[in-house]
């Protein structure tokens, strides 16, 4: 579980970066901001679940990946979003996908 916690901490860091980048981007739509905010909320939920039972942690990781999928789709669909914010969301999405693949 400690290894999963360490990996998740790295993912949470990327999600936090994405949230900051999107929040600072004047071109980001309110919908994208809300979707990335939900991605960050799911990350905190997953962080709390890791350390509990394995089933709860796995479910939280799956929810986090789904939130990442939504954030990626929203970032790709937002035409006014700047490149660094878009890349931060894509990086966060890739990080959670890679984590889930190791489970």
Q: Six-digit token pair at 25?
A: 């981007």
Tell me the per-residue pLDDT of 28-73, one tens digit each, with 9 for 90 and over: 999 999 999 999 999 999 998 887 777 888 899 999 999 999 999 9
pLDDT at residue 68 in the model: 97
Give the pTM.
0.92
CA separation for the pair 83, 88 (Å, rounded): 9
Range of the domain at 85: 2-101
Q: What are phi and psi of 29, to 5 degrees?
A: -75, 155
CATH number for the domain that contains residue 95: 1.20.120
Contacts of 26 (CB under 8 A, 6+ apart): none
The total domain count for the chain is: 1
pLDDT at residue 2 in the model: 54
């Amino acid at each position: 579980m400690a290894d999963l916690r360490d990996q998740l901490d790295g993912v949470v860091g990327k999600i936090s970066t994405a949230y900051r980048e999107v929040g600072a981007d004047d071109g980001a739509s309110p919908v994208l901001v809300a979707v990335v905010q939900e991605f960050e909320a799911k990350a905190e939920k997953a962080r709390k679940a890791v350390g509990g039972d394995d089933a709860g942690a796995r479910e939280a990781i799956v929810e986090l990946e789904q939130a990442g999928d939504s954030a990626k789709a929203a970032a790709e669909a937002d035409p006014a979003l700047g490149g660094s914010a878009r890349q931060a969301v894509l990086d966060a999405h890739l990080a959670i996908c890679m984590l889930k693949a190791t489970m």
